[in-house]
């Protein structure tokens, strides 16, 4: 399979390594420093694009792929205000597009567990839900896309909470209808996400801890292999058949 990499940071490099190990070819590696090379690319030689760039480049990258008939998967976060327009464009072009805040198989199982737990906890109003995410200091966006996905899963199921908010230090969120997300940046942490339901009596907690970027990269390559000959706007649930 011939892969176009859009974004060549740490994730792009990890994806490249795994793709080559799985006997795929990298047609081009496009990032901030050589973006002009995209216009000269032979798009007929590309089977699928994997997009892990920057928030200000993601929409343009995805539109380029859809315009040229290239199936594209994206894991870039921080650009989602443009996602409805991108999905409309995908439908208009009869294209193929999949966005995920996290391509780790374990994280996507964790997403489903989170929704299931939220559905159970909505009956017990004495428990206050919250989300904590911890990442390396180089991560630019906060909260993480994964934390937002967890929060949205809780909001779909929970009766007390109606919107999420990046936690403001010292604020009491009990009874406010707001779900706090605490974002911590330290060291070289690949990503830890914790969902907590706390009451005066006890606390219930579920957590996912990533040990390396390999899980994210492996999931992205597996999705790229799967999506190559498909059409439409797809999700990780379609891929995993959860």
Alpha carbon of 196 to those of 125, 133, 146, 204: distances in Å?
Answer: 14, 11, 15, 6
pLDDT tens digits, 32-83 = 889 889 888 999 999 999 999 999 999 999 999 999 999 999 999 889 899 9
Strands 128-135 and 25-30: unpaired
Specify the pTM. Answer: 0.81
Residue 140's pLDDT band (boundaries 50, 70, 90)? confident
Across residues 82-92, what is the average pLDDT? 97
Across residues 205-214, what is the average pLDDT? 90
pLDDT at 108: 92
The residues, any chain, with a CB within 8 Å of residue 202's CB and separated by 6 or more, are: none
Across residues 19-25, what is the average pLDDT? 96
Identify the bridge partners of residue 195 per DSSP, sorted by sequence position. 131, 206
Q: Could you give the CA distance from residue 128 to residue 112 in angstroms, rounded to a whole number? A: 20
pLDDT tens digits, 92-139 = 999 999 999 889 999 999 999 999 999 999 999 899 999 999 999 888
Q: Could you give the CA distance from residue 90 to residue 69 in angstroms, rounded to a whole number? A: 10
Instruction: Tell me which residue has tokens 């017990």.
Output: 124
Strands 2-6 and 48-51: parallel
pLDDT at 242: 64
Q: Could you give the CA distance from residue 63 to residue 42 in angstroms, rounded to a whole number? A: 16
Residues 132 and 194 sit within 8 Å (Cβ to Cβ): yes
Catalytic residues: 135, 139
Q: Is the peptide bond before 143 cis (omega within 30 degrees of 0)?
A: yes
Across residues 189-196, what is the average pLDDT? 94
pLDDT tens digits, 161-187 = 999 999 998 899 988 999 999 999 998
DSSP 8-state code for residue 43? G
Structure tokens at 13: 């490099």
Domains of the chain: 2-103+214-240 (3.40.50.720), 105-209 (3.30.360.10)
């Amino acid at each position: 399979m011939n892969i176009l990499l859009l974004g060549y940071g740490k994730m792009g490099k990890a994806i490249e390594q795994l793709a080559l190990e799985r006997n795929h070819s990298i047609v081009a590696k496009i990032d901030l420093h050589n973006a002009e090379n995209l216009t000269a690319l032979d798009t007929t030689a590309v089977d699928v694009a994997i997009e892990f760039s920057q928030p200000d480049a993601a929409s343009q990258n995805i539109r380029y792929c859809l315009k040229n008939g290239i199936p594209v998967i994206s894991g870039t976060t921080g650009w989602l205000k443009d996602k409805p327009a991108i999905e409309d464009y995908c439908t208009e072009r009869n294209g193929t597009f999949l966005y995920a805040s996290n391509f780790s198989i374990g994280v996507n199982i964790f997403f489903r567990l989170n929704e299931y737990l939220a559905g159970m906890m909505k009956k017990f109003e004495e428990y206050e839900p919250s989300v904590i995410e911890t990442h390396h200091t180089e991560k630019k966006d906060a909260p993480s896309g994964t934390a937002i996905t967890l929060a949205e899963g809780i909001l779909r199921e929970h009766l007390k909470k109606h919107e999420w908010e990046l936690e403001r230090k010292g604020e009491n969120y009990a009874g406010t209808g707001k779900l706090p997300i605490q974002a911590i940046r330290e060291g070289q942490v690949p990503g830890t996400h914790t969902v907590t339901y706390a009451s005066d009596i006890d606390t219930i907690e579920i957590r996912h801890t990533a040990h390396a970027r390999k899980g994210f990269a492996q999931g992205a390559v597996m999705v790229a292999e799967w999506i190559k000959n498909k059409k439409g706007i797809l999700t990780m649930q379609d891929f995993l058949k959860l």
